[in-house]
Amino acid sequence: MKVDDVKNIAVIGAGNMGHQIALLAAIQGFNTTCTDVVPEILAKAEAFADKYLPGRVAKEKLTQEQADAARSRLTFTNDLAEAVGEADYVIEAVLEVLELKRKIFADLDRLTPAHAILATNSSAIVSSKIADVTSRPEKVLNLHFFNPALVMKLVEVVQGPHVSDEAAQLSMALCDRLGKVSVHVKKEVEGFLLNRILEAINKEALWLLEMGVASFEDIDKAQVFGAGHPMGAFRLMDLTGIDLNYIMAMEKFRASGNEAHLPSPSVVERYITGNYGQKTGKGWYDYSEES
Protein backbone atom coordinates (compact mmCIF):
# COMPACT_ATOMS: atom_id res chain seq x y z
CA MET A 1 0.00 0.00 0.00
CA LYS A 2 1.14 3.55 -0.78
CA VAL A 3 0.07 6.65 1.13
CA ASP A 4 -2.13 7.62 -1.85
CA ASP A 5 -4.14 4.46 -1.19
CA VAL A 6 -5.07 5.61 2.31
CA LYS A 7 -8.59 6.99 1.95
CA ASN A 8 -10.34 5.69 5.05
CA ILE A 9 -9.09 6.21 8.58
CA ALA A 10 -10.71 4.72 11.69
CA VAL A 11 -10.02 6.05 15.18
CA ILE A 12 -10.77 3.75 18.11
CA GLY A 13 -11.51 5.63 21.31
CA ALA A 14 -13.09 9.09 21.28
CA GLY A 15 -11.51 10.40 24.48
CA ASN A 16 -8.90 13.08 25.12
CA MET A 17 -6.78 12.20 22.09
CA GLY A 18 -9.09 10.18 19.82
CA HIS A 19 -11.74 12.83 19.24
CA GLN A 20 -9.15 15.31 18.01
CA ILE A 21 -7.22 12.81 15.90
CA ALA A 22 -10.45 11.83 14.14
CA LEU A 23 -11.45 15.43 13.53
CA LEU A 24 -7.98 16.24 12.24
CA ALA A 25 -8.12 13.34 9.77
CA ALA A 26 -11.52 14.47 8.49
CA ILE A 27 -10.34 18.07 8.09
CA GLN A 28 -7.31 16.83 6.16
CA GLY A 29 -9.51 15.02 3.64
CA PHE A 30 -9.84 11.45 4.91
CA ASN A 31 -13.12 9.57 5.30
CA THR A 32 -12.97 9.07 9.03
CA THR A 33 -14.90 6.96 11.48
CA CYS A 34 -14.58 7.45 15.20
CA THR A 35 -15.79 4.80 17.60
CA ASP A 36 -16.05 4.35 21.34
CA VAL A 37 -17.88 1.87 23.57
CA VAL A 38 -19.01 4.62 25.96
CA PRO A 39 -22.00 6.46 24.41
CA GLU A 40 -21.38 9.64 26.45
CA ILE A 41 -17.78 9.90 25.26
CA LEU A 42 -18.84 9.41 21.65
CA ALA A 43 -21.59 12.02 22.00
CA LYS A 44 -19.11 14.46 23.55
CA ALA A 45 -16.70 13.90 20.65
CA GLU A 46 -19.45 14.57 18.13
CA ALA A 47 -20.55 17.70 20.01
CA PHE A 48 -16.93 18.88 20.00
CA ALA A 49 -16.72 18.51 16.20
CA ASP A 50 -20.01 20.34 15.79
CA LYS A 51 -18.69 23.23 17.87
CA TYR A 52 -15.09 23.25 16.64
CA LEU A 53 -15.77 23.41 12.91
CA PRO A 54 -18.04 26.50 13.03
CA GLY A 55 -15.43 28.05 15.35
CA ARG A 56 -12.75 27.53 12.68
CA VAL A 57 -15.02 29.15 10.12
CA ALA A 58 -15.65 32.11 12.44
CA LYS A 59 -11.88 32.45 12.93
CA GLU A 60 -11.42 32.22 9.13
CA LYS A 61 -9.14 29.20 9.52
CA LEU A 62 -11.51 27.14 7.34
CA THR A 63 -14.08 28.17 4.74
CA GLN A 64 -17.68 27.11 5.28
CA GLU A 65 -17.28 24.63 2.39
CA GLN A 66 -14.15 23.09 3.95
CA ALA A 67 -15.88 22.77 7.32
CA ASP A 68 -18.99 21.20 5.77
CA ALA A 69 -16.85 18.79 3.75
CA ALA A 70 -14.85 17.80 6.85
CA ARG A 71 -18.05 17.19 8.82
CA SER A 72 -19.51 15.07 6.03
CA ARG A 73 -16.37 12.91 6.04
CA LEU A 74 -16.61 12.25 9.78
CA THR A 75 -18.84 9.49 11.15
CA PHE A 76 -19.35 8.48 14.77
CA THR A 77 -20.45 4.96 15.62
CA ASN A 78 -20.36 2.64 18.61
CA ASP A 79 -20.08 -0.35 16.28
CA LEU A 80 -16.43 -1.39 15.94
CA ALA A 81 -17.05 -3.62 12.92
CA GLU A 82 -18.81 -0.81 11.09
CA ALA A 83 -16.08 1.68 12.03
CA VAL A 84 -13.16 -0.38 10.72
CA GLY A 85 -14.66 -2.60 7.99
CA GLU A 86 -13.25 -0.44 5.17
CA ALA A 87 -10.34 1.16 7.00
CA ASP A 88 -6.98 1.52 5.31
CA TYR A 89 -5.38 2.90 8.45
CA VAL A 90 -6.53 2.48 12.06
CA ILE A 91 -5.41 4.61 14.98
CA GLU A 92 -6.27 3.19 18.39
CA ALA A 93 -6.48 5.72 21.23
CA VAL A 94 -8.16 3.88 24.10
CA LEU A 95 -7.11 3.70 27.76
CA GLU A 96 -3.51 2.74 28.51
CA VAL A 97 -4.39 -0.80 29.57
CA LEU A 98 -2.40 -3.54 27.87
CA GLU A 99 -5.05 -6.28 28.01
CA LEU A 100 -7.67 -3.93 26.57
CA LYS A 101 -5.41 -2.97 23.70
CA ARG A 102 -4.54 -6.62 22.97
CA LYS A 103 -8.23 -7.48 22.84
CA ILE A 104 -8.94 -4.56 20.50
CA PHE A 105 -6.05 -5.39 18.18
CA ALA A 106 -7.19 -9.02 17.93
CA ASP A 107 -10.63 -7.71 16.93
CA LEU A 108 -9.09 -5.23 14.49
CA ASP A 109 -7.08 -7.98 12.85
CA ARG A 110 -10.32 -9.89 12.25
CA LEU A 111 -12.43 -6.93 11.17
CA THR A 112 -10.16 -4.79 8.99
CA PRO A 113 -9.03 -5.38 5.40
CA ALA A 114 -5.75 -7.35 5.24
CA HIS A 115 -3.82 -4.35 3.88
CA ALA A 116 -4.79 -2.02 6.76
CA ILE A 117 -2.09 -0.65 9.04
CA LEU A 118 -3.00 -0.86 12.73
CA ALA A 119 -1.43 1.91 14.80
CA THR A 120 -1.66 2.65 18.49
CA ASN A 121 -1.46 6.18 19.85
CA SER A 122 -0.21 4.75 23.15
CA SER A 123 2.53 6.70 24.84
CA ALA A 124 3.17 4.01 27.42
CA ILE A 125 2.74 0.65 25.69
CA VAL A 126 5.06 -0.29 22.86
CA SER A 127 3.49 -2.01 19.88
CA SER A 128 5.60 -5.16 20.25
CA LYS A 129 3.49 -5.95 23.33
CA ILE A 130 0.39 -5.94 21.12
CA ALA A 131 1.47 -6.95 17.60
CA ASP A 132 1.60 -10.69 18.35
CA VAL A 133 -2.19 -10.92 18.69
CA THR A 134 -2.49 -10.04 14.99
CA SER A 135 -1.58 -11.91 11.83
CA ARG A 136 0.23 -8.78 10.56
CA PRO A 137 2.79 -7.70 13.18
CA GLU A 138 4.80 -5.89 10.50
CA LYS A 139 1.89 -3.47 10.14
CA VAL A 140 1.38 -2.76 13.85
CA LEU A 141 3.20 0.29 15.22
CA ASN A 142 3.04 3.26 17.59
CA LEU A 143 1.85 6.50 16.02
CA HIS A 144 2.09 8.90 18.93
CA PHE A 145 0.25 12.25 18.78
CA PHE A 146 0.51 15.03 21.36
CA ASN A 147 -2.23 16.82 23.24
CA PRO A 148 -4.11 18.77 21.92
CA ALA A 149 -3.79 16.66 18.79
CA LEU A 150 -5.42 19.26 16.55
CA VAL A 151 -2.73 21.75 17.49
CA MET A 152 0.52 20.01 18.35
CA LYS A 153 2.50 19.33 15.20
CA LEU A 154 4.63 16.45 16.41
CA VAL A 155 3.88 12.78 15.80
CA GLU A 156 6.34 10.07 16.82
CA VAL A 157 6.44 7.08 14.48
CA VAL A 158 7.97 4.24 16.44
CA GLN A 159 9.47 1.39 14.47
CA GLY A 160 9.79 -1.60 16.77
CA PRO A 161 11.79 -4.62 15.60
CA HIS A 162 8.69 -6.29 14.09
CA VAL A 163 7.60 -3.25 12.02
CA SER A 164 8.28 -3.19 8.28
CA ASP A 165 10.07 -0.25 6.69
CA GLU A 166 7.07 0.10 4.41
CA ALA A 167 4.64 0.58 7.32
CA ALA A 168 6.95 3.07 9.05
CA GLN A 169 7.58 5.08 5.87
CA LEU A 170 3.90 5.08 4.94
CA SER A 171 3.01 6.28 8.45
CA MET A 172 5.47 9.15 8.17
CA ALA A 173 4.05 10.08 4.76
CA LEU A 174 0.56 9.95 6.26
CA CYS A 175 1.65 12.37 9.00
CA ASP A 176 2.67 14.82 6.23
CA ARG A 177 -0.80 14.51 4.74
CA LEU A 178 -2.25 15.20 8.19
CA GLY A 179 -0.22 18.41 8.34
CA LYS A 180 2.02 17.02 11.08
CA VAL A 181 5.77 16.84 11.59
CA SER A 182 6.81 13.24 12.15
CA VAL A 183 9.95 11.93 13.77
CA HIS A 184 11.21 8.41 13.21
CA VAL A 185 11.87 6.65 16.51
CA LYS A 186 14.05 3.73 15.52
CA LYS A 187 13.93 1.82 18.80
CA GLU A 188 11.14 1.03 21.22
CA VAL A 189 12.45 2.94 24.24
CA GLU A 190 10.12 3.71 27.13
CA GLY A 191 8.52 7.14 26.63
CA PHE A 192 9.89 7.44 23.08
CA LEU A 193 11.48 10.87 22.55
CA LEU A 194 9.47 13.77 23.86
CA ASN A 195 7.81 12.14 26.86
CA ARG A 196 11.25 11.21 28.19
CA ILE A 197 12.21 14.87 28.05
CA LEU A 198 8.89 16.06 29.50
CA GLU A 199 9.06 13.46 32.24
CA ALA A 200 12.46 14.71 33.36
CA ILE A 201 11.02 18.24 33.63
CA ASN A 202 7.93 16.92 35.39
CA LYS A 203 9.92 14.99 37.94
CA GLU A 204 12.03 18.01 38.77
CA ALA A 205 8.97 20.28 39.02
CA LEU A 206 7.24 17.85 41.41
CA TRP A 207 10.39 17.55 43.51
CA LEU A 208 10.65 21.34 43.84
CA LEU A 209 6.98 21.52 44.87
CA GLU A 210 7.13 18.68 47.36
CA MET A 211 10.33 20.00 48.94
CA GLY A 212 8.47 23.28 49.54
CA VAL A 213 10.87 25.24 47.34
CA ALA A 214 8.07 27.01 45.44
CA SER A 215 4.37 26.82 44.70
CA PHE A 216 3.23 24.99 41.59
CA GLU A 217 2.03 28.31 40.18
CA ASP A 218 5.49 29.81 40.53
CA ILE A 219 7.17 26.73 39.06
CA ASP A 220 4.86 27.04 36.04
CA LYS A 221 5.63 30.77 35.82
CA ALA A 222 9.35 30.03 35.84
CA GLN A 223 9.00 27.69 32.89
CA VAL A 224 6.77 30.04 30.91
CA PHE A 225 8.54 33.34 31.58
CA GLY A 226 12.08 32.05 31.94
CA ALA A 227 12.29 29.32 29.36
CA GLY A 228 9.52 30.32 26.94
CA HIS A 229 7.60 27.07 27.37
CA PRO A 230 3.95 27.47 26.32
CA MET A 231 2.84 26.14 29.71
CA GLY A 232 4.51 24.86 32.85
CA ALA A 233 4.61 21.24 34.05
CA PHE A 234 1.54 21.54 36.29
CA ARG A 235 -0.69 23.25 33.72
CA LEU A 236 0.47 20.62 31.22
CA MET A 237 -0.39 17.77 33.61
CA ASP A 238 -3.88 19.26 33.90
CA LEU A 239 -4.13 19.27 30.10
CA THR A 240 -2.90 15.72 29.53
CA GLY A 241 -4.54 14.30 32.66
CA ILE A 242 -3.15 13.62 36.12
CA ASP A 243 -4.74 10.16 35.84
CA LEU A 244 -2.50 9.47 32.84
CA ASN A 245 0.52 10.67 34.80
CA TYR A 246 -0.41 8.27 37.63
CA ILE A 247 -1.13 5.31 35.34
CA MET A 248 2.10 5.75 33.39
CA ALA A 249 4.17 5.96 36.57
CA MET A 250 2.49 2.83 37.96
CA GLU A 251 3.11 0.97 34.68
CA LYS A 252 6.75 1.96 34.89
CA PHE A 253 6.98 0.87 38.51
CA ARG A 254 5.33 -2.49 37.77
CA ALA A 255 7.74 -3.12 34.91
CA SER A 256 10.89 -2.10 36.80
CA GLY A 257 10.04 -2.77 40.45
CA ASN A 258 11.99 0.43 41.14
CA GLU A 259 10.30 2.59 43.79
CA ALA A 260 11.82 5.70 42.24
CA HIS A 261 9.28 5.23 39.44
CA LEU A 262 6.25 5.39 41.77
CA PRO A 263 3.98 8.43 41.20
CA SER A 264 4.82 11.28 43.54
CA PRO A 265 2.57 11.82 46.61
CA SER A 266 0.88 14.96 45.27
CA VAL A 267 -0.03 13.13 42.06
CA VAL A 268 -1.39 10.17 44.05
CA GLU A 269 -3.45 12.56 46.19
CA ARG A 270 -5.11 14.11 43.13
CA TYR A 271 -5.58 10.73 41.48
CA ILE A 272 -7.42 9.19 44.44
CA THR A 273 -9.62 12.27 44.89
CA GLY A 274 -10.55 12.21 41.18
CA ASN A 275 -8.97 15.59 40.45
CA TYR A 276 -7.51 14.70 37.05
CA GLY A 277 -7.18 18.19 35.58
CA GLN A 278 -9.18 19.95 32.88
CA LYS A 279 -11.38 16.96 32.16
CA THR A 280 -12.74 16.82 35.72
CA GLY A 281 -12.78 20.60 36.24
CA LYS A 282 -9.99 20.51 38.83
CA GLY A 283 -6.42 19.29 39.01
CA TRP A 284 -3.61 21.56 40.04
CA TYR A 285 -5.74 24.49 38.94
CA ASP A 286 -9.46 25.01 39.38
CA TYR A 287 -11.17 25.28 36.00
CA SER A 288 -14.63 26.01 37.35
CA GLU A 289 -13.32 29.27 38.81
CA GLU A 290 -11.36 30.08 35.66
CA SER A 291 -14.32 29.51 33.40
| Of positions 28, 148, 222, 266, contacts ligand CAA by CB under 6 A | 148
Given the rule CB under 6 A, which of 39-47, 73-81, 140-148, 210-218 is the region that contacts ligand CAA? 140-148
Name the residue with the smallest CB distance to ligand CAA.
123
247 binds ligand CAA (CB under 6 A): no
| Of positions 32, 112, 202, 240, contacts ligand CAA by CB under 6 A | 240
How big is the site for ligand CAA, counted in residues (CB under 6 A)?
A: 16
Could you tell me if residue 75 is left (phi over 0), alpha (psi between -120 and 50 degrees) or otherwise beta? Answer: beta
| Of positions 1, 106, 150, 247, contacts ligand CAA by CB under 6 A | 150
Comparing CB distances to ligand CAA, the nearer of 69 and 150 is: 150
191 binds ligand CAA (CB under 6 A): no
230 binds ligand CAA (CB under 6 A): yes
Amino acid letter, residue 284: W
- 210 is a catalytic site residue: no
- 144 is a catalytic site residue: yes
| Of positions 59, 65, 99, 258, contacts ligand CAA by CB under 6 A | 59
- 86 is a catalytic site residue: no
- To the nearest whole angstrom, how small is the minimum distance from the Cβ of residue 176 to ligand CAA? 19
Given the rule CB under 6 A, which of 94-102, 146-154, 207-215, 260-268 is the region that contacts ligand CAA? 146-154
| Of positions 33, 35, 120, 123, contacts ligand CAA by CB under 6 A | 123
- Per CB under 6 A, residues contacting ligand CAA are 59, 61, 123, 146-148, 150-152, 195, 198, 230-231, 236, 240, 244
The residues that are catalytic are 123, 144, 156, 195
